[in-house]
Amino acid sequence: MADYIRVSTLNSLVKQVLAQCEPLNNLIVCGEISNFTRHYKSGHLYFTLKDETAAVKCVMFRDKARLLGFEPQNGMLVLAYGRATLYERDGAFQIYADFLRPFGAGAAQMAFDALKKKLETEGLFDPVHKRPLPSMPHCIGIVTSKTGAALQDVIQVISRRWPMVHLLLAPVSVQGLEAEPSIVAGIRALDADPRPDLILVTRGGGSKEDLWVFNSERIARAAYGCRKPVVSAVGHEIDYTILDYVADLRAPTPSAAAELCVPDQAQLRRQIYILGQNIQKNIQSRYQVWYNKLSMMMPERVLEHRKSVIFQNQAQIGQLQQALQRAMAVRVERCNMGLEKAAALAAGLNPYAVLARGYTLVCDEAGQLQTVKDLQPGQKIVVQGAGAHAACTVDEVRILQNNSEENADESTQKL
């Protein structure tokens, strides 16, 4: 009689074979969702992915499902990221999905509309919850990539318009699977920090897929839960995300957001000058009116006495006016000195200015900054300077004695 094995042994062997097959452990499967179910107790998602000729069962566990930025629906075309395995008890071949992403314009729009309708019904877009921005903020928190063009645009505009404001950066990833939790953490960190008066969430332009992370429900709820005003500036003017609807103010571009967040110092100076001119004209007009009234009402003798008093008061007014002008000149000078110091500080914090003095940055191939201790022999690195960079390979790493330990990077950096 031939040797036999039990069903449980067979299923266990098949599961082991699937687990050892590398292509099956890093899958991206495209298919249409059907038989979608969210288990009311466990929170796990159960569904089937199908195409024209085949179907496969899928499971997404609760810890992964709660990170989704949209509600899956039957008929939606998606990309499922995960691994293939066998459920031993039933002998069912299935996919354990770690992440889902709408695939195609129709599916993406369907997910966008469904989440927008859900949040709008809950009142997250209600104008009554929109808070005004402070007219003259002392500190602005920025949630964006520290290497992106959006940050440089914001710094450039604010340095020109209102350089005395402080900028506090929460560096985050704005694209990829890690972007959503990174942005949520950045928003919450700046909201917990007492220094920022408002929070700016921004990134530069890109495709709809690049900007899709800002349609996340978790990011929308993090922005809605902020105690401080939130400004959204994602992509270009034609790009609208869920975050734009939740934020207290939506700006079409990062540069436009910077203009909306701070006043224009040149315009304020013009307003102060015009106000001073109006005060002076008003004083002269009132003086002339009362002088004319006295000239018509009093005898010449009394009038002469009044005129002398008026001349004395006029002299005092002149002195007060000169004192006011001197005080205004001193105040303007102090403001100019403050502006110059702030501008110098902003220029000193500009990493590109450091590169212009001959320094360089060492990055790995992914663009992440590297210290000497981080390097490994044979590692590919990029040495970046002002206007040029060089691709290099590490031959040897020598650790010098008595070097002080490097401080850990803070998740929140001050510009």
Tens-level pLDDT at each residue, the chain (415 residues): 568 888 888 889 888 888 888 888 889 999 989 899 998 888 899 999 998 888 999 999 998 888 787 788 888 888 999 999 998 888 899 999 998 888 876 677 777 888 899 999 999 999 999 999 999 999 999 999 999 999 999 999 999 999 999 999 999 999 877 899 999 999 999 999 999 999 999 999 887 778 888 999 999 999 999 999 999 999 888 888 999 999 999 999 999 999 999 999 988 889 898 998 899 889 988 888 887 777 666 566 666 777 778 888 888 888 888 888 888 888 888 888 888 888 778 777 777 777 777 788 888 888 788 888 888 898 888 888 877 888 899 888 887 765 544 444 444 343 3
The tokens describing 274, both together, are 């015009």
Amino acid identity, position 190: L
The DSSP-derived string for 300-331 is HHHHHHHHHHHHHHHHHHHHHHHHHHHHHHHH
The tokens describing 79, both together, are 């990309």
CA dist., res. 94 & res. 55, Å (int): 10
Pick the CATH number of 7-119 from 3.40.1010.10, 3.90.1150.10, 2.40.50.140, 2.60.40.1180: 2.40.50.140
CA dist., res. 69 & res. 72, Å (int): 10
SS3 333: helix
**Which contiguous run of DSSP H or E holds residue 336?**
helix 300-349
- pTM given for the model: 0.52
The vertex-34 CA angle with 27 and 20, nearest 5°, equals: 25
For residues 64-77, one letter each, b for 16 or more C-beta atoms within 10 angstroms of the residue's C-beta and e for the rest, the string is bbebbbbebeeebb
CA dist., res. 356 & res. 325, Å (int): 43
Annotated domain spans of the chain? 7-119, 129-261, 265-349, 355-414
Closest CA relative to residue 33, chosen from 114, 119, 117: 114
Q: Looking at the structure, give the CATH architecture of the domain made up of residues 129-261.
A: 3-Layer(aba) Sandwich (3.40)
Please give the DSSP secondary-structure letter assigned to residue 82: E
Contacts of 198 (CB under 8 A, 6+ apart): 133, 134, 137, 140, 141, 228, 229, 230, 231, 261
